[in-house]
Amino acid sequence: MKQFIEDVRDGSFMEKNYTKLIPLYEMTKIALNAYTFILHREIKDAGKDVVLNAVHPGLISTDLNFHMGTNTINEGARSALKAATLPKGTDVDGKFLWEDGEVRDWIDGDNEYWRLDEFKDKFMELYKQDPKP
């Protein structure tokens, strides 16, 4: 993360191919997920009885992606709602919940929507036309 921040500051991050879609957005999502798991460990080490998970709402149709997302805001809320209503003592703790509410491996798991070349190409075409959605 430190190297990425330095590369953003000096302008070399695009040349280093950190990502093919939205470099800063993707890196902030990675940092947020990592921080969530750090907090989870700290909470558990402190003996707190709190359920804490990272949640992915799916590709939501918003101004940020020129409304090319496949899910509505209400559909995106499903995984957060599931996470918020998990009972104490659940095994789903310190996990990453996908848009369908299922647990996924956020590091080595299937993150197929970022690899959709058709979406990436359409997004970049629109972004070049209007970089400030």
| 3-state DSSP of the chain | CHHHHHHHHHCCCCCCCCCCCCHHHHHHHHHHHHHHHHHHHHHHHCCCCCCCCEECCCCECCHHHCCCCCECHHHHHHHHHHHHCCCCCCCCCCCEECCCCCEECCCCCCCHHHHCHHHHHHHHHHHHHCCCC
Structure tokens at 37: 């798991």
25 among known catalytic residues: yes
Residue 30 to residue 51: CA distance in whole angstroms: 20
Which of 25, 35, 113, 127 is catalytic? The answer is 25
Active-site positions read 25
